Amino acid sequence: MKTFSLLTMALATMVVGPVHADQKLVESKQCLGCHAMAQDGAAPAFKRIAARWQGRPEAEDVIVKTIRQGSAGTGGPHWNKAKMPDQAERPQVSEAEARQLAAWILAQ
């Protein structure tokens, strides 16, 4: 029984740990200033972004490029008049961080 509990805790940490870390990254990069989880605001909700890109093989690459370069990097506003600012207007996001954020967004 004790082994089962330790295994369960280890698996829970593996599953919950990255999600928690990604949430911290979302907060530190100020994504929540415009985006929310389920409700559109100044920008589309993360769940809406995930739904739009679901099943598309290019999704992660396009989202990474948008995160790093803003709307201009991928052809302009994507959600009506909403414009994703480039990194001159918000915290810097590395390629690795952008990939982590894109994967997190697509998992919503």
pLDDT of 78 strictly over 60: yes
> Which one has a higher pLDDT value, 100 or 20?
100
Query: Among 20, 34, 30, which Cα is nearest to 93's?
Result: 30
Do you know the residue count of the chain?
108
Confidence of residue 82 (pLDDT cuts 50, 70, 90): confident
pLDDT at 77: 65
Interval 55-64 mean pLDDT: 95
pLDDT of 10 strictly over 80: no
Taking the chain, what is the end-to-end CA distance rounded to the nearest angstrom? 34
The rounded Cα 48 to chain-centroid distance in angstroms is: 12
Residue 95 φ then ψ, to 5°: -60, -45
Residue 41: CA atoms inside 13 Å, Cβ hemisphere, count? 11
46 and 52 Cβ atoms separated by less than 8 Å:
no
pLDDT of 71 strictly over 80: yes
Give the fold, CATH level 3, of 22-106. Cytochrome Bc1 Complex; Chain D, domain 2 (1.10.760)
